[in-house]
C-alpha cells in the first residue's frame, strides 16, 4: 500500500468515520487539534494528533490550505482525506496536495473544478445529452438579466450559487417583483459561504423528489454506480433524513438514471467516490442538478444496503487500485434510513441549540448503526455545525426499516441540548412519509406540526410543573426553616451588636 499515513483535514463524525476504516486497513491517521474543541472525540481515535491550539487566526485550520499541507509534511502523512465540507471540493487544495507529492483521497482537481462550477457542469451535461432543467447559459450579472431569462423559461425559477450548494445562495423566485430582492440575498449569501457571489438561474421544478446516485470510479476509467439515495426530506435545502433505495424508482428507472449518472461522471474522467444529484418530478422525469465530488454525509445508507465500505474504496482508488466490482456485482439488499440528529430546537424553527452533551445514550439493536463525533461531555460548537449523530437503521424492506427506526428513535436519549428527535418521531408516523409520496416540499407544505408528542406527554409535563409548584409553595413549612439557629449568636458578637446602640 502506497498510502501509509492519512492526514484527516476534517473533524467531527466524518473524521471518526475515516479513522475507523483506516484502522481496519492498518493505515495510520493524523488528526488536527484545534483551540475551539481541544477535547473533541475524533482526537481520541487518531494515531497522531497535531496540536494546532496555539493558532489564533480567524480562518479555521480546516480551510487553510497552506497550513494543512504544512501539517501533512510535518507529520509525514503521504495522503490527505478532506472528508466533506471545508476543502473537500476545493480544486486548488487537491492540486496543492498533488504538487507536494501528497495523495489526495478524492477525484482529480480537474473533475472537482469542472463539477464545482455549476455552469460548467450544466454545459457538460448539455453536451452529453443528460436531461436537465432549463436555465441561464452562464452566470447572471444582475437581476435584470435574471428577469429576462425568467421571462423566457417561465416562473417559478430558482437562483443558485455557481460555486456551492447545500441550500446556501439559493432562492426561489415566483414573481418578477421579487427578483431584485432575492437576487441580492442569494448573491450575498453565496459570497459569504463560497467567496464567490456568482449566481445563475434555472427553472424551478415544483415539488420534486431529490434522488442522488452514488458513483465509484477508479483511475483506470471504470465507473459504476451503487444505487440511489432518496433525500427529499429537506428543510431550506438542508437534508434531514435520507434513505436507500428510493420507493420512487423501479429497476428500469434505476438503470436509466444510473447510466446517466455514470455518463456525466465519465465526462470528467471521474474517479473516487462521488454523487450525482437529480430531481424527479411527479411524472418520473428526471433532471440533472449537480455532481458532488466528495464523500457525502449520507453515505452510510448506501453502505448498509450494498455492503461496500465507501471510505475503503476511496482509499483503495487513491492508492491506484482498480475497482474489484463490476456493475452487475452491485446488489441492493434491504432498506436503510438515516436520521441526522442535530442540536436544533424544532419548536423554534430548527434554531441551533449549542450546548454541552451531558449524556448520550444510543440504542444498541442489531439493525442500528450510529455514526457520531460526539460523546458525553462534548460541546456542540456553534461555529462548526450542529450535528450530534447519524442514526442509521436498516430493515429487510421499507416497512421493516420504518418500524425499526420508530423503535430506535424512542431509545435515543440525549441530554444537554435540544435535538431534532421529536421531528423524526413525527416523521416516521406521518402517513405521507410512510407511503413514500413525499417530495422536497413536504416539510414546508405538508407539515402542520414539526414535532411529535403523544397526548399524555404534555400532561405528564404539566403534572411535573404542578408538582414543582406545590413543593415550592404549598409545602414551604416543611422545608424546615430554623429560627433557633438565627437566635444562637456567638455571645461575643451579640454583645457587640447590642452595645453599639
Using CB under 8 A, list all residues that contact other proteins: 167-168, 181, 185, 188-189, 192-193, 236, 345-349, 351-352, 356, 358-359, 361, 382, 385-386, 413-415, 418-419, 421-422, 451, 453, 456-470, 472-474, 476-477, 479-483, 485-487, 489-490, 492-494, 496-498, 500
As a whole number of Å, the CA-based R_g of the chain is 27
By C-beta, is 46 or 161 nearer to other proteins? 161
8 A C-beta contact, residue 29 and residue 14: no
By C-beta, is 248 or 409 nearer to other proteins? 409
- CA distance linking residue 446 with residue 442, whole number of Å: 5
- CA distance linking residue 432 with residue 118, whole number of Å: 32
By C-beta, is 26 or 490 nearer to other proteins? 490
What's the grid cell of residue 196? 464567490
Cis peptide bond N-terminal to 316, omega within 30? no
Give least dist CB 358 to other proteins, A.
Answer: 7
Give least dist CB 142 to other proteins, A.
Answer: 18
Give least dist CB 115 to other proteins, A.
Answer: 22
By C-beta, is 98 or 459 nearer to other proteins? 459
Q: Is 23 known to be catalytic?
A: no
- CA distance linking residue 262 with residue 345, whole number of Å: 39
By C-beta, is 218 or 385 nearer to other proteins? 385
Q: Kind and range of the H or E element at 372? A: strand 368-372
Give least dist CB 413 to other proteins, A.
Answer: 6
- Determine which one of 122, 171, 229, 294 is catalytic: 294
Cell numbers 410512510 label which residue? 434
By CB atoms closer than 10 A (0-12, 13-18, 19+), residue 451 is middle
Instruction: Write the DSSP assignment of 19-62 as a string of letters.
Output: HHHHHHTT-EEEEEE-SS-TT-GGGGG-SEEEE-TT---SS-GG
Looking at the DSSP assignment, which residues form a beta bridge with residue 69? none
3-class SS of residue 453 = coil
By C-beta, is 254 or 425 nearer to other proteins? 425
Cell numbers 437562483 label which residue? 159
Give least dist CB 424 to other proteins, A.
Answer: 10
Q: How far is CA 292 from CA 113, 212, 244, 494, in A?
A: 11, 10, 18, 79
By C-beta, is 99 or 457 nearer to other proteins? 457
Cis peptide bond N-terminal to 385, omega within 30? no
Give least dist CB 58 to other proteins, A.
Answer: 11
Give least dist CB 372 to other proteins, A.
Answer: 17
Nearest to 360 by CA among 419, 297, 424, 407: 419
Q: How far is CA 361 from CA 241, 260, 333, 344, in A?
A: 20, 42, 29, 18
By C-beta, is 254 or 294 nearer to other proteins? 294
What's the grid cell of residue 66? 497552506
By C-beta, is 366 or 480 nearer to other proteins? 480
Nearest to 372 by CA among 24, 33, 20, 99: 20
Q: How far is CA 381 from CA 40, 271, 353, 370, 415, in A?
A: 10, 34, 10, 20, 16
8 A C-beta contact, residue 394 and residue 401: yes
| Backbone torsion region of residue 207, taken as left when φ is above 0, otherwise alpha when ψ lies between -120 and 50, otherwise beta | left
Cell numbers 445514550 label which residue? 361
By C-beta, is 102 or 362 nearer to other proteins? 362
Give least dist CB 361 to other proteins, A.
Answer: 7
Cell numbers 436555465 label which residue? 135
What's the grid cell of residue 278? 437529480
Sheet holding 286-292, edge to edge: 286-292, 272-280, 209-217, 223-235, 238-244, 335-342, 387-395, 368-372
* Length reported for the chain: 501
Please identify every residue annotated as catalytic. Answer: 294
Amino acid at each position: 500500500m502506497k498510502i501509509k499515513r492519512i492526514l484527516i483535514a476534517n473533524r467531527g463524525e466524518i473524521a471518526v468515520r475515516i479513522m475507523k476504516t483506516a484502522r481496519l486497513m492498518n493505515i495510520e491517521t493524523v488528526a488536527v487539534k484545534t483551540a475551539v474543541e481541544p477535547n473533541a472525540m475524533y482526537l481520541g481515535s487518531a494515531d497522531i494528533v497535531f496540536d494546532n491550539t496555539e493558532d489564533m487566526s480567524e480562518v479555521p485550520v480546516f480551510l487553510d490550505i497552506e497550513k494543512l499541507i504544512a501539517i501533512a509534511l510535518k507529520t509525514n502523512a503521504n495522503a490527505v482525506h478532506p472528508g466533506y465540507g471545508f476543502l473537500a471540493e476545493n480544486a486548488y487544495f487537491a492540486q496543492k496536495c498533488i504538487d507536494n507529492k501528497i495523495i489526495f483521497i478524492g477525484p482529480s482537481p480537474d473533475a472537482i473544478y469542472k463539477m464545482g462550477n455549476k455552469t460548467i457542469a450544466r454545459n457538460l451535461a448539455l453536451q452529453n445529452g443528460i436531461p436537465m432543467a432549463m436555465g441561464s447559459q452562464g452566470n447572471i450579472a444582475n437581476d435584470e438579466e435574471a428577469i429576462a431569462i425568467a421571462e423566457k423559461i417561465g416562473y417559478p425559477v430558482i437562483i443558485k450559487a455557481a460555486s456551492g450548494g447545500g441550500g446556501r445562495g439559493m432562492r426561489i423566485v415566483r414573481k418578477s417583483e421579487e427578483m431584485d430582492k432575492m437576487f441580492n440575498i442569494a448573491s450575498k449569501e453565496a459570497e459569504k459561504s463560497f467567496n464567490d457571489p456568482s449566481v445563475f438561474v434555472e427553472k424551478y421544478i415544483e415539488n420534486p423528489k431529490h434522488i442522488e446516485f452514488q458513483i465509484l470510479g477508479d483511475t483506470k476509467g471504470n465507473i459504476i454506480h451503487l444505487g440511489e439515495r432518496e433525500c427529499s426530506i429537506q428543510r431550506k435545502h438542508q437534508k434531514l433524513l435520507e434513505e436507500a433505495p428510493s420507493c420512487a424508482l423501479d429497476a428500469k428507472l434505476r438503470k436509466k438514471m444510473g447510466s446517466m449518472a455514470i455518463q456525466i461522471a465519465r465526462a470528467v474522467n471521474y474517479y473516487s467516490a462521488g454523487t450525482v444529484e437529480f430531481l424527479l418530478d411527479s411524472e418520473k422525469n428526471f433532471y440533472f442538478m449537480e455532481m458532488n465530488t466528495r464523500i457525502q454525509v449520507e453515505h452510510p445508507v448506501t453502505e448498509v444496503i450494498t455492503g461496500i465500505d465507501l471510505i475503503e474504496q476511496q482509499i483503495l482508488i487513491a492508492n491506484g487500485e482498480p475497482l474489484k466490482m463490476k456493475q452487475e456485482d452491485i446488489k441492493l439488499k434491504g432498506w436503510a434510513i438515516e436520521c441526522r440528529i442535530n442540536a436544533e430546537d424544532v419548536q423554534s424553527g430548527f434554531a441551533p441549540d449549542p450546548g454541552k452533551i451531558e449524556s448520550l445514550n444510543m440504542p444498541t439493536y442489531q439493525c442500528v448503526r450510529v455514526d457520531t463525533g460526539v460523546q458525553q461531555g462534548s460541546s456542540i460548537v456553534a461555529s462548526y455545525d450542529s450535528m450530534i449523530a447519524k442514526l442509521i437503521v436498516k430493515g429487510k424492506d421499507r416497512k421493516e426499516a420504518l418500524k425499526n427506526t420508530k423503535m430506535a428513535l424512542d431509545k435515543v436519549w440525549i441530554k444537554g441540548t435540544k435535538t431534532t428527535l421529536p421531528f423524526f418521531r413525527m416523521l416516521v408516523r406521518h402517513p405521507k412519509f410512510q407511503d413514500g409520496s413525499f417530495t422536497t416540499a413536504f416539510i414546508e407544505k405538508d407539515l402542520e406540526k414539526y414535532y411529535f408528542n403523544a397526548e399524555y406527554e404534555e400532561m405528564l409535563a404539566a403534572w411535573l410543573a404542578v408538582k414543582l409548584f406545590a413543593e415550592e409553595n404549598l409545602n414551604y413549612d416543611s422545608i424546615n426553616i430554623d429560627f433557633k439557629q438565627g437566635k444562637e449568636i456567638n455571645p461575643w458578637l451579640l454583645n457587640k451588636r447590642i452595645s453599639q446602640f
